[in-house]
Chain A
Amino acid sequence: MTSQAAAQKRSHIFRAAFLILIAGYFALPLLAMARFAFQNVPMALLTPEKLLTGWSAAGLQTALTDPQIISATWTSIQIVVLSIILNLVILVPLAIVTEVRNPALRPIITALTLLPWVIPPIALVVGVAATFRIAAPWFLASNLSLVPFYALWAMPFTYRLLDAGLRAINARTLYEAARGMGASFPAVMLRVILPNMRSSMIASAALTTALVLGEFAFASLLLKSTLPTEMVTFERSDPRGGLALALFVMVFTAVILGLVVRAMRRRGLTFHASGV
């Protein structure tokens, strides 16, 4: 028995060491970034006694008051909201009808919703340049033309989340029970199915937000002005401010996501962000 206890203790120590190592790997770049962004001392001149000097948030302030950054942020927020809406408007009815009325079609629909995953931004941008840029330049003129494409790339994980959510609540049984007891079709949807899909929708909205705020390839190659592309431009002229802004966006998004996850946990819902 004692050898077993010793083995367990060993494995616990091993696990703790592994977790500390991982935490270090994830924390170090953020710390380095924060130091560069907020401490006005070049790395070459940094000595232990200078560790506490020169800290200021001036870089972040410059970045957050830059008119280009402000307008790009506003654009990105609009793209986030519109992509979430477009994605859900198309996929929620599709997922519900597939699950409760045509379950036989589910494998085909699942495969179709995975297609955007096969044609990622760096690939589709070539196709869009060869089609829309020539046939409909007016469409690509607006920054908001990114919306349908971003909704597309949010589709694989959104559909998975919705489908998993519907199966978890036994949507088909609920639907049949409600219909059997005389509820009209819209009533079943609005009062039974949709309220139960909230957690899937919130999780997908959160992931879509992260996706849109991070997408760079497509926007940059189509010369669109979004937060990530403007961030890169800004960093070239003001590295300190650029890094401060990048750190701010990352941490801010993580905190918002953390609050969403925690709120969902409190209600006994799980947040499975799994994209596959």
Chain B
Amino acid sequence: MGAFLRGNRLGLIVAVPFSAFIGLFLIYPSLVVLFKALTPGGAFGLSAMTRALSGTYRSGFINSAWLSLASAVIGGAIGLALALAVKGMTRPRWLHTILDSWSAVASQLGGVPLAFAFIATIGTQGLLTKLLMQLGVDPANFGLSISGFWGLVFVYLYFQIPLMFLVMTPAVHGLRETWREAALILGASPLQYWRSVGLPLLLPATLGGILLLFVNAFTAYSTAAVLNASLNIVPLQIRFLLQGNVITGEEDLANAIVTWVIILLLLTLLLVTLLQRRALRWTRS
């Protein structure tokens, strides 16, 4: 009984600051947003919530979803391929050090410097644009511009690929060499091994990673803001509403959009957790 109480007291000592911290800085502002979203103009009602999903705001959600999906699937595939390609590579010796640190910087720090870098690369006066023009190809003829849909996907891949690489590396290392050898000895071709052993084992982690990338792109603000993206996406709409909140009613709209975003992210997180639980079954033992 004494030990139990002591354990509890210790639990309390660490749990109280943690809960107070999350409660004050995360839960409280979020609940206020939820409350305001559900009480537009002071009375309970769903008008703000439905308006947040109609007209220009609906197209914002649709654009954001496509942008996030495209960059998550492409970035996820390339990131996974990268993790698989460098698995077991021991030379050059600095390879993994560079990959780890650069991935952390590109995926976390990204944002503003990335926007600058891509203006210098694929902007109208960019290096790659110039090179392509020299070759007689004008990207603008294909409707490609840095602030349009595929331009943004191209830029977002710069932080999506490294994030997928970081996320998948532990899972890829969980693939035992002995399993591959066993399959090959039993007469399976490398293709058969990948189709019936490797990929099914990596599938839950891969799907989880892609969902994570989806969320990452959906909430990415800085790159699009600095690039002055012409694509109408949710984070830029939130900025617009937040800066123009002198107009009455607009503030409730920002709250409603944020509420939808949080609902979407909560569902995704739930899915990721389920997938990870499945992935863990194999990587544990």
Binding site for B on A (CB under 8 A): 7, 11, 15, 18-19, 22, 25-26, 28-33, 35-37, 42-44, 46, 90-91, 93-94, 97-98, 101-102, 105, 111-112, 114-132, 148-149, 151-152, 206-207, 210-211, 213-217, 220-221, 228, 231-232, 235, 242-243, 246-247, 249-250, 253-255, 257-258, 260-262, 265, 271-276
Taking the closest CB of chain A, its distance from the CB of B28, in whole angstroms, is: 6
Are A261 and B100 neighbours in the complex by a CB distance under 8 Å? Answer: yes
Are B158 and A26 neighbours in the complex by a CB distance under 8 Å? Answer: yes
Taking the closest CB of chain A, its distance from the CB of B15, in whole angstroms, is: 7
> What are the residues of chain A within 8 A of B243 when measuring CB–CB?
221
Are A126 and B25 neighbours in the complex by a CB distance under 8 Å? Answer: no
| A-B residue pairs in contact (CB < 8 Å), sample of 11 | A19-B86, A26-B106, A94-B18, A117-B215, A129-B245, A207-B108, A214-B111, A216-B111, A232-B112, A250-B113, A260-B101
> What are the residues of chain B within 8 A of A235 when measuring CB–CB?
116
Assembled-state Cα–Cα distance A214/B208 (Å): 24
Taking the closest CB of chain A, its distance from the CB of B283, in whole angstroms, is: 12
> What are the residues of chain B within 8 A of A93 when measuring CB–CB?
13-14
Taking the closest CB of chain B, its distance from the CB of A125, in whole angstroms, is: 7
**Known contacts A232-B226, A257-B104: A114-B269 contact under CB 8 Å:** yes
Assembled-state Cα–Cα distance A47/B242 (Å): 45
Assembled-state Cα–Cα distance A114/B100 (Å): 23
B105 within 8 Å of A by Cβ? yes
What secondary structure prevails in chain A residues at the interface with B?
helix
**Known contacts A126-B254, A217-B221, A235-B116: A257-B105 contact under CB 8 Å:** yes
Are B114 and A29 neighbours in the complex by a CB distance under 8 Å? Answer: yes
Assembled-state Cα–Cα distance A19/B83 (Å): 11
Are A101 and B10 neighbours in the complex by a CB distance under 8 Å? Answer: yes
What secondary structure prevails in chain B residues at the interface with A?
helix
B141 within 8 Å of A by Cβ? no
Among the stretches B40-48, B55-63, B65-73, B120-128, the one at the interface with A is B120-128
> What are the residues of chain B within 8 A of A128 when measuring CB–CB?
29
Taking the closest CB of chain B, its distance from the CB of A85, in whole angstroms, is: 13
Are A276 and B212 neighbours in the complex by a CB distance under 8 Å? Answer: yes
Assembled-state Cα–Cα distance A15/B170 (Å): 20
Partner of B15, one of A94, A206, A207, A216: A94
B98 within 8 Å of A by Cβ? yes
- Beyond A93-B13, A221-B242, 4 extra complex contacts between A and B, CB < 8 Å: A43-B130, A130-B36, A247-B116, A258-B97
> What are the residues of chain A within 8 A of B170 when measuring CB–CB?
272, 274
> What are the residues of chain B within 8 A of A215 when measuring CB–CB?
111, 222
Are A115 and B108 neighbours in the complex by a CB distance under 8 Å? Answer: no
Assembled-state Cα–Cα distance A131/B31 (Å): 10
Are A29 and B22 neighbours in the complex by a CB distance under 8 Å? Answer: no
Taking the closest CB of chain B, its distance from the CB of A153, in whole angstroms, is: 10
Are A262 and B97 neighbours in the complex by a CB distance under 8 Å? Answer: yes
Residue of A nearest to B102 (CB): A254
Q: Which 8 A-B pairs have the closest CB atoms?
A: A127-B29, A216-B222, A214-B109, A210-B108, A257-B101, A32-B127, A246-B113, A217-B221
Are B112 and A214 neighbours in the complex by a CB distance under 8 Å? Answer: yes
Partner of B273, one of A18, A111, A112, A260: A111
Are B261 and A43 neighbours in the complex by a CB distance under 8 Å? Answer: no
**Known contacts A18-B85, A43-B130: A131-B32 contact under CB 8 Å:** yes
> What are the residues of chain B within 8 A of A127 when measuring CB–CB?
28-30, 32-33, 258
Are A112 and B22 neighbours in the complex by a CB distance under 8 Å? Answer: yes
